[in-house]
A and B are shown apart, each in its own frame.
Chain A
């Protein structure tokens, strides 16, 4: 087996490089799953309440599309219903990132050449990448199985195996895609797109049938996870589907990997134009960011439409449950469950938009550290002009995607168009403050600019989990989003919005002042 020579060394090397990334992804995923039985216990404490829930899920096709069908009333089965699809998707993302990072990323950067020139087999890198993904998926499966064992050991083992299975299906799929494309970014995008397709297929299937028996559900690996029916009469043979897919896809990836040159791909990059029309720093920024803006725009519009479509059903679903109503009202204000739901969903999208603004602002940081900013700034382009292009896209894009989310609600829900649009736009104040923090970090502490992700993550955590966990108000107050008026339903209060917008302006100005003064990092 000379084609596998060096696999052990490469695997240790991969795991060392991923010693932060894999544990973080796995821990977040496991925590999400393992916290669920307690949350559900608080929400639906009695058998009757859970039976009601099951009944309502069965009759509401929008909810089945979003979350999947439920197969049992005990806490284990409900946990699998509530987070199964999402935990599976997260496991898939973890695995695909690991595989692409250690295969196509390495080739594209040229690092693979050095590795391949050593006593390393032709298929060793791919094998090591898949094994690293197997470690990540396996540890997640073990943690989940161990953590849920209290709800029933058999179901816990089945769900753990199912999650690991989804991870490995997408690991081997990513291994194939990584052979096809020349760019790691494209490989990640395509595999994530296939994951999205798997989600949509399952959603379509679950909308059409109450018990996951639709063909659409069965063609999606995420559908297999729900059809494994952990905690609800496990169908062990479904695990065979995972195994068959992993073996088949793995075989294809191995066959491709052995047949091509290092650094080459089966889908070569198409040539571009010989002359270009880009002439300003702003045009360059737009060219670099337009794909991202388009993706976020589509995503926010669809999210708005989906949540809008759920709005009518939510009152029925939550209506009788005192605790769930309370949580929505803490997130969304106290003025009827429909308004509270709309307010909490628009608030949630605002929190997600904070991720957009951070990603967009930090493009500046990426341009700088990669060395691409240096020759641009050596031209007749001032630093502020250079930054302004990216920041216009970041801050203007935040307005755009919230506006599109509002239009999505208008399409999906159709009532209260004006107030819901206003509720979306008011989020911009919070989003801009987070964007301002990112600019400040980039301007004053360029090496710590990635800490802006930490800020966005903390705000996200406070906003999503805070209301359900009875977190003290002082902690909730740290987040700019906590100060926004709860719309629709609540009354519009301008002072906090204006204060936040002013704060954002000050943060951006301070960041830009720092950028003008400091050395460019290389």
Chain B
């Protein structure tokens, strides 16, 4: 068994809105998989289907080799879930909730729990209503990381965490990966995704638009090139893959599809290069392109 999650052609409608419109997703066992998309793209809906909280209209979903709707309880024994907006019971302390979630999953490691409480600097004696947003997230994160499970499903888990805690979170995810656990991480924080994820899937309007490693995805996007040349540029506009060409005398700015970079550089050196800067696509650009595409 190498796939932790397989989803094929998932459809789900709420009344007239099609939240999922043929979504595909594959998460290998043991990887950290980034799950990205603009607000309302269907990330949380997908996660709720994977948790058996929603029933898909059509399509197939398997989590740890089982049907998440039919075998919900068996699947959940091996899953820990952190929602993006944790609501707690106002009169239960954070520590009580951590232990409750742990026991409901089938036990948690007390040493690891104590360690996590300390690293996340969580006061477990406070009552649910007195926690801030970030601290409520910590309660769910401690419960998830301290549980002995095979798959962690994290839905924007770090919303409200400060940068120091974000760091602690990233280290925890690394540790989980080293233990061979699989993580599905839905996130908007690009540095987090870049740091942690082996592969990512980008979805939009309920469909998967791209999936692969970050290097693969980078390859699909454009590099920007600025050059000062010895002579006038020649024939750049006709090269395939060149966009937004801007020539001012001997100064050239352009965008080029990364896999067409070779030809552009050759053409530039033909004219004699005085200076050259080439910027690989930033993650932001990469995502903006996928998010905005019509």
Contact = CB atoms under 8 A, between A and B. Distances in A.
A284 B97 CA distance: 10
Contact of B95 (A273, A284, A287, A372): A273
A381 B129 contact: no
Given A272-B127, A287-B92, A372-B89, A380 B99 contact: no
Interface string B76-118: 1101010101111111110111111101111000000000000
Contact of A380 (B73, B89, B97, B100): B73
Interface stretch (A167-175, A275-283, A475-483): A275-283
Nearest to A386: B104
A269 B129 contact: yes
Nearest to A520: B53
Interface residues of B, number: 42
Interface in A37-66: none
Contacts of A258: none
Contacts of A270: 127
B101 A379 contact: yes
Interface in A508-522: 517-520, 522
Contacts of B140: 375
Contact of A108 (B77, B89, B129): B129
Interface residues of A, number: 38
A278 B86 contact: no
B124 interface: yes
Contacts of A284: 100
A278 B103 contact: yes
Contacts of B72: 377, 382-383
Given A380-B76, A381-B76, A519-B54, A279 B125 contact: no
B177 interface: no
Nearest to A109: B129
Contacts of A371: 83, 85, 87
Chain B contact residues: helix, strand, loop or mixed: mixed
Given A273-B93, A378-B79, A381-B73, A280 B54 contact: no
B126 interface: yes
B93 A274 contact: yes
Interface in B48-91: 48, 51, 53-55, 72-74, 76-77, 79, 81, 83, 85-91
A383 B53 CA distance: 10
B85 to A, nearest CB: 7
Contacts of B77: 380
Contacts of A269: 126-127, 129-130
Contact of B104 (A183, A271, A381, A522): A381
A517 B70 CA distance: 10
B10 to A, nearest CB: 14
B112 to A, nearest CB: 14
Nearest to A522: B48
A462 B89 CA distance: 37
B76 A276 contact: no
Nearest to B104: A379
B95 to A, nearest CB: 4
B93 A378 contact: no
Nearest to B110: A275
A182 B130 contact: yes
A278 B53 contact: no
A282 B95 CA distance: 18
Contacts of B97: 276
B156 to A, nearest CB: 14
A377 B90 contact: no
Interface in B254-272: none
27 contacts: A108-B129, A182-B130, A183-B129, A271-B125, A271-B127, A272-B95, A272-B96, A273-B96, A274-B125, A276-B97, A276-B99, A278-B99, A279-B104, A287-B92, A371-B85, A374-B48, A375-B86, A378-B51, A378-B79, A379-B76, A379-B104, A379-B105, A380-B76, A380-B104, A518-B55, A520-B54, A522-B48
Interface of A: 108, 182-183, 185, 269-281, 284, 287-288, 370-372, 374-383, 517-520, 522
Interface of B: 48, 51, 53-55, 72-74, 76-77, 79, 81, 83, 85-93, 95-101, 103-106, 123-127, 129-130, 140, 153
10 closest A-B pairs by beta carbon, nearest first, are A276-B96, A272-B93, A379-B104, A279-B103, A271-B125, A378-B81, A274-B95, A276-B99, A380-B77, A520-B53
Given A275-B124, A278-B100, A520-B54, 7 more contacts: A273-B125, A276-B100, A277-B99, A280-B104, A288-B89, A380-B104, A518-B55
